[in-house]
Amino acid sequence: MSYDVAVVGAGVFGAWTAYQLRLSGASVLLLDAYGPGNSRASSGGESRMIRLGYGPDEIYSRSAQRSLVLWQQLFAKANQPHLFEPTGILWLAREQDSYCEATLTTLRRIGAKCERLGHDELVRRFTQLNLDPISWGILETDSGVLLARRAVKAVVDEAAAIGVEYMQEAIAPPLASGSGGKPPFLTCSTQEENKSGRGACPRSKLNLIRTTSGKEIVADRFVFACGPWLPKLFPDLLGELIHVTRQEVFFFGVAAGDESFNSGVLPAWIDFNDLVYGLPNIEGRGFKIAIDAHGPEFDPDAGERVVSTSGLKAVREYLEQRVPRLADAPVSETRVCQYENTSNGDLLIDRHPECENVWLVGGGSGHGFKHGPVVGEYVVGMIAGNNQIEERFRLASKGKVRGRMVY
C-alpha cells in the first residue's frame, strides 16, 4: 500500500502532524520505534508546562497561545479535558530582569491574561516559596500543565479514529549508501546527473523507506519528526546541528495532609535566572522540579535513565533555598529524559536540502512540546505550498556552535 504521507516519529510533533495531515484529506501512515509517548521519547513523561511567556520571542508566544486552544479542543473531542491542568504559570523575576520585562510586554501585546505581582503580593499568596531575592513576578492565569504521555496518546488515538494508520517499527537511515555507493531508494527529479559525490542528485525524490525488520513503506512524501533520533537517521546532515542532552527530573513527596503544594493552590513556576522550574503536586505524583541547564550528550536508545548523585544534590540545594519545606522531602519518583537542541533553541522545520519530498521536523530544545498543534499546522501548510516560510525554522539557520537564545 502507498500513502500520501508517511510520518516517522509518534512524539508530539509527529502525532500532531499526522493528525493535521489527515484532517487536510491526506492518507497517512504514522510510525514509531517504541510507541507514542514512550519512556525514551522527548515527549514521554507525565507532565509538561504550556506557558505563553518567551521573553521577546513573540513568534513562540503566539504559537503557544494558539496551541493551547487546539490542545483543549482535542481533549474535549477525546472526552479527556483533564489532560490539561489549569495551574497557571508563575514567573519569578529579579529587580533588573530584562527577560521577564520582555515577557510581560509580549504577553500584554498578544492579549494574554496575566498579572504583574509585586514582592509583597507574592509573599502573601505563595507561602510555599522563599522569595528572596525575588522582586516581582508574572502570573499567566490561563496557562498550566499538559499531561504529556497521555496527551500524545490522545492525539494518536484521535488520528487513528479519523483514518491515520499506525505502525510500530524502527526505520533504517533513509539516505544510507547502498552497495553502489549511493542511496538505493532515490530517483532524480531532474535530468542532471549527480556530480556532488554525496549520493543524491541536485533534486532527488525518496521513493520508499525501509524498517529495520525489512518492511518497505512507499509514500509520496515523508516527514521525519524523530526528535533525538533525527541526527541518527541523518548523521551527515544533522549530526553536528542537533545535540541530544541528558536531563534529570525529580519528584518529591509532600507530607500527608499538606495541600499547599497541590495543583489549584500552587501554580507551576519558572525561576528563569537560575534555570529551574517546578510543577505542583498533580495526581499525587509529588512536587516536580528540574534544572533546565543542558546536560551531557546522551544516546536516546542506549543511555541509562538513572539520575545522578550530583543531580540530586544540586536540586536539594536549590530546594533548601527556594522551597525550604521540601528540602528534606523524600524523592518519590525520578526521570531521565533528553532535549534535542539546535544551536540556539529555534525549532527545525524544513525540507531536506537534497530530497524534495522529505521534511525534517524537530529541534524541540526542551521547550517544544507545547507547540505540537501549531507545528502540525505549519508542516501541513508547508507541504501544500501555501505557507509563509519562517526563516528561523530553516535548516540553513542552524549552526554548529551552540549559543542558547530561546528558552
- Report the CATH number at residue 255: 3.30.9.10
Can you tell me the distance from the alpha carbon of 42 to that of 12, in angstroms, rounded to the nearest whole number? Answer: 9
- pLDDT attached to residue 201: 59
Residue-wise pLDDT for 326-353, tens only, equals: 999 999 999 999 999 999 999 999 999 9
- pLDDT attached to residue 379: 98
**Rounded mean pLDDT for each run of 10 residues along the chain, 407 residues in total:** 97 98 98 97 97 98 98 98 98 97 98 98 98 97 98 98 98 78 65 44 87 97 98 97 98 97 98 97 98 98 98 98 98 98 98 97 98 98 92 97 94
How distant, in Å, are the alpha carbons of 41, 366, 370, 398, 404 from that of 341? 14, 7, 16, 10, 9
**Is 234 domain-assigned?**
yes
Residue-wise pLDDT for 295-308, tens only, equals: 999 999 999 999 99
**Is 236 domain-assigned?**
yes
Q: Domain range for residue 356? A: 2-43+150-241+344-397
Q: How many CB atoms lie within 10 A of CB 376?
A: 29
268 and 327 in a single domain? The answer is yes
**Is 53 domain-assigned?**
no
Contact 245, 294 (CB under 8 A): yes
Indicate the residue among 323, 341, 359 that finishes a domain. 341
The enclosing domain of 172 has a CATH number of 3.50.50.60
266 and 326 in a single domain? The answer is yes
Q: Which residues contact 128 (CB under 8 A, 6 or more apart)?
A: 260, 261, 266, 323, 325
Q: Dig out the grid coordinates for 371 from the structure.
A: 507547540
182 and 306 in a single domain? The answer is no
Give me the chain's average pLDDT, please.
95
Residue-wise pLDDT for 193-223, tens only, equals: 444 444 445 579 999 999 999 999 999 999 9
138 and 251 in a single domain? The answer is yes
Number of domains observed in the structure of the chain: 2
Can you tell me the distance from the alpha carbon of 129 to that of 133, in angstroms, rounded to the nearest whole number? Answer: 11
Of the candidates 344, 275, 366, the residue with the CA atom closest to the CA atom of residue 12: 366
159 and 225 in a single domain? The answer is yes
Helix (H) or strand (E) holding 373: helix 372-384
Q: Where are the alpha helices (DSSP H) in 244-364?
A: 309-322
Can you tell me the distance from the alpha carbon of 269 to that of 284, in angstroms, rounded to the nearest whole number? Answer: 18
**Is 133 domain-assigned?**
yes
**Is 307 domain-assigned?**
yes
Can you tell me the distance from the alpha carbon of 122 to that of 130, in angstroms, rounded to the nearest whole number? Answer: 10
- pLDDT attached to residue 197: 42
**Is 94 domain-assigned?**
yes
256 and 337 in a single domain? The answer is yes
303: phi then psi, degrees, rounded to nearest 5: -65, 135
300 and 231 in a single domain? The answer is no
- pLDDT attached to residue 203: 74
pTM score, whole prediction:
0.95
Indicate the residue among 341, 356, 387 that finishes a domain. 341
In single-letter form, the type of residue at position 67 comes to S
Of the candidates 183, 147, 177, 170, the residue with the CA atom closest to the CA atom of residue 74: 147
261 and 368 in a single domain? The answer is no
314 and 348 in a single domain? The answer is no
